[in-house]
Amino acid sequence: MLTCAVITVSNTRTAADDDAGDLLATCLQEAGHRVLRREIVFDNRYQLRRAFSECIADPQIDVVISSGGTGFARHNAVPEAVEVLFDQPVPGFGELFRQLSFNEIGAAAIQSRCVAGIANDTLVFCLPGSPGACALAWNQILRPQLDHSTRPCNFACRG
Protein backbone atom coordinates (compact mmCIF):
# COMPACT_ATOMS: atom_id res chain seq x y z
CA MET A 1 0.00 0.00 0.00
CA LEU A 2 1.25 3.44 -0.94
CA THR A 3 0.21 6.67 0.75
CA CYS A 4 -0.88 9.26 -1.77
CA ALA A 5 -1.87 12.87 -2.30
CA VAL A 6 -4.27 14.03 -5.01
CA ILE A 7 -3.95 17.64 -6.15
CA THR A 8 -6.45 19.21 -8.50
CA VAL A 9 -5.12 22.24 -10.34
CA SER A 10 -7.95 24.58 -11.23
CA ASN A 11 -9.10 28.17 -11.05
CA THR A 12 -12.78 27.13 -11.08
CA ARG A 13 -13.24 23.66 -9.54
CA THR A 14 -14.57 23.06 -6.04
CA ALA A 15 -14.82 19.90 -3.95
CA ALA A 16 -18.40 19.54 -5.24
CA ASP A 17 -17.41 19.29 -8.92
CA ASP A 18 -13.87 17.88 -8.86
CA ASP A 19 -14.63 14.90 -11.10
CA ALA A 20 -11.01 14.15 -12.06
CA GLY A 21 -9.81 14.37 -8.45
CA ASP A 22 -12.67 12.15 -7.30
CA LEU A 23 -11.82 9.61 -10.00
CA LEU A 24 -8.15 9.49 -9.03
CA ALA A 25 -8.89 9.20 -5.30
CA THR A 26 -11.38 6.39 -5.95
CA CYS A 27 -8.99 4.52 -8.24
CA LEU A 28 -6.17 4.76 -5.70
CA GLN A 29 -8.38 3.50 -2.87
CA GLU A 30 -9.81 0.66 -4.95
CA ALA A 31 -6.24 -0.43 -5.73
CA GLY A 32 -5.53 -0.63 -1.99
CA HIS A 33 -3.64 2.63 -1.61
CA ARG A 34 -4.37 5.32 1.00
CA VAL A 35 -5.23 8.89 0.06
CA LEU A 36 -3.85 11.01 2.86
CA ARG A 37 -4.32 14.42 1.27
CA ARG A 38 -6.67 16.04 -1.25
CA GLU A 39 -6.32 19.64 -2.31
CA ILE A 40 -7.54 22.01 -5.01
CA VAL A 41 -4.84 24.53 -5.92
CA PHE A 42 -5.16 27.67 -8.01
CA ASP A 43 -3.17 27.44 -11.26
CA ASN A 44 -0.41 29.74 -10.11
CA ARG A 45 3.23 28.71 -10.32
CA TYR A 46 4.04 29.68 -6.73
CA GLN A 47 0.92 28.23 -5.13
CA LEU A 48 1.58 25.02 -7.05
CA ARG A 49 5.18 24.85 -5.85
CA ARG A 50 3.97 25.31 -2.27
CA ALA A 51 1.39 22.52 -2.52
CA PHE A 52 3.69 20.06 -4.29
CA SER A 53 6.63 20.90 -1.99
CA GLU A 54 4.52 20.24 1.10
CA CYS A 55 3.60 16.80 -0.24
CA ILE A 56 7.15 16.03 -1.34
CA ALA A 57 8.52 17.04 2.06
CA ASP A 58 5.96 14.93 3.96
CA PRO A 59 7.66 11.60 4.80
CA GLN A 60 4.27 9.87 4.87
CA ILE A 61 3.45 10.62 1.22
CA ASP A 62 4.84 8.19 -1.36
CA VAL A 63 2.98 9.42 -4.45
CA VAL A 64 1.48 12.71 -5.63
CA ILE A 65 -0.94 12.65 -8.56
CA SER A 66 -2.32 15.89 -9.92
CA SER A 67 -4.94 16.68 -12.54
CA GLY A 68 -5.16 19.87 -14.56
CA GLY A 69 -2.87 22.70 -15.53
CA THR A 70 -0.88 20.80 -18.17
CA GLY A 71 -2.34 22.22 -21.38
CA PHE A 72 -1.15 25.10 -23.55
CA ALA A 73 -3.47 27.78 -22.14
CA ARG A 74 -1.57 30.81 -20.90
CA HIS A 75 -2.53 30.17 -17.27
CA ASN A 76 -1.46 26.48 -17.26
CA ALA A 77 1.67 26.43 -15.10
CA VAL A 78 2.08 22.87 -13.81
CA PRO A 79 5.12 21.73 -15.85
CA GLU A 80 7.00 24.98 -15.16
CA ALA A 81 6.08 24.90 -11.46
CA VAL A 82 6.78 21.24 -10.77
CA GLU A 83 9.65 20.11 -12.98
CA VAL A 84 12.15 22.26 -11.05
CA LEU A 85 11.32 20.20 -7.95
CA PHE A 86 12.30 16.86 -9.55
CA ASP A 87 15.49 15.09 -8.53
CA GLN A 88 14.90 12.73 -11.49
CA PRO A 89 12.44 13.29 -14.32
CA VAL A 90 10.55 10.36 -15.83
CA PRO A 91 10.49 11.54 -19.47
CA GLY A 92 8.94 8.31 -20.74
CA PHE A 93 5.75 9.02 -18.79
CA GLY A 94 4.70 11.98 -20.93
CA GLU A 95 5.76 10.23 -24.10
CA LEU A 96 3.78 7.09 -23.27
CA PHE A 97 0.73 9.07 -22.18
CA ARG A 98 0.67 11.04 -25.44
CA GLN A 99 1.03 7.82 -27.45
CA LEU A 100 -1.89 6.20 -25.64
CA SER A 101 -3.91 9.40 -25.79
CA PHE A 102 -3.36 9.67 -29.55
CA ASN A 103 -5.26 6.40 -29.95
CA GLU A 104 -8.27 8.03 -28.25
CA ILE A 105 -8.22 11.70 -29.27
CA GLY A 106 -5.90 11.87 -32.28
CA ALA A 107 -3.50 14.71 -32.89
CA ALA A 108 -4.90 16.76 -29.99
CA ALA A 109 -2.75 14.51 -27.78
CA ILE A 110 0.26 16.63 -28.73
CA GLN A 111 -1.13 19.43 -26.53
CA SER A 112 -0.68 17.41 -23.35
CA ARG A 113 2.28 18.57 -21.30
CA CYS A 114 1.87 15.93 -18.59
CA VAL A 115 5.06 15.27 -16.66
CA ALA A 116 6.38 12.91 -14.00
CA GLY A 117 9.39 12.68 -11.79
CA ILE A 118 10.82 11.71 -8.43
CA ALA A 119 11.47 14.34 -5.77
CA ASN A 120 12.74 13.50 -2.28
CA ASP A 121 11.89 9.84 -2.98
CA THR A 122 8.27 10.82 -3.75
CA LEU A 123 6.73 9.89 -7.09
CA VAL A 124 4.99 12.81 -8.80
CA PHE A 125 2.62 12.41 -11.75
CA CYS A 126 0.95 15.47 -13.34
CA LEU A 127 -2.00 14.60 -15.55
CA PRO A 128 -4.41 16.59 -17.72
CA GLY A 129 -7.60 17.75 -16.03
CA SER A 130 -10.20 15.72 -17.89
CA PRO A 131 -11.59 12.63 -16.18
CA GLY A 132 -11.07 10.68 -19.41
CA ALA A 133 -7.38 11.55 -19.52
CA CYS A 134 -7.00 10.68 -15.84
CA ALA A 135 -8.74 7.34 -16.37
CA LEU A 136 -6.47 6.58 -19.34
CA ALA A 137 -3.33 7.40 -17.34
CA TRP A 138 -4.56 5.41 -14.34
CA ASN A 139 -5.62 2.30 -16.25
CA GLN A 140 -2.76 2.11 -18.73
CA ILE A 141 0.21 3.47 -16.77
CA LEU A 142 -0.28 4.28 -13.10
CA ARG A 143 -2.25 1.29 -11.84
CA PRO A 144 0.27 -1.26 -13.13
CA GLN A 145 3.29 0.85 -12.18
CA LEU A 146 2.03 1.42 -8.62
CA ASP A 147 1.44 -2.33 -8.17
CA HIS A 148 4.37 -4.22 -6.66
CA SER A 149 3.46 -7.36 -8.62
CA THR A 150 3.97 -5.77 -12.06
CA ARG A 151 7.00 -7.33 -13.75
CA PRO A 152 9.68 -6.82 -14.87
CA CYS A 153 9.66 -3.55 -12.89
CA ASN A 154 7.40 -1.01 -11.25
CA PHE A 155 7.56 2.22 -9.28
CA ALA A 156 6.10 0.66 -6.13
CA CYS A 157 9.25 -1.40 -5.49
CA ARG A 158 11.92 1.03 -6.66
CA GLY A 159 14.85 1.44 -4.40
Sheet containing strand 122-127, edge to edge, reads 34-41, 3-9, 63-67, 122-127, 115-119, 88-89
Q: Backbone phi, then psi, for 67, in 5-degree steps?
A: -130, 140
User: Is 134's pLDDT higher than 70?
Assistant: yes
Q: Whole-prediction pTM value?
A: 0.95
pLDDT tens digits, one per residue of 53-85: 999 999 999 999 999 978 788 888 989 999 999
Position 72: which residue type?
A: F
Q: Mind listing the domains of the chain with CATH numbers?
A: 3-145 (3.40.980.10)
- Cα 105 to Cα 21, 68, 96, 102, distances in angstroms: 21, 17, 14, 5
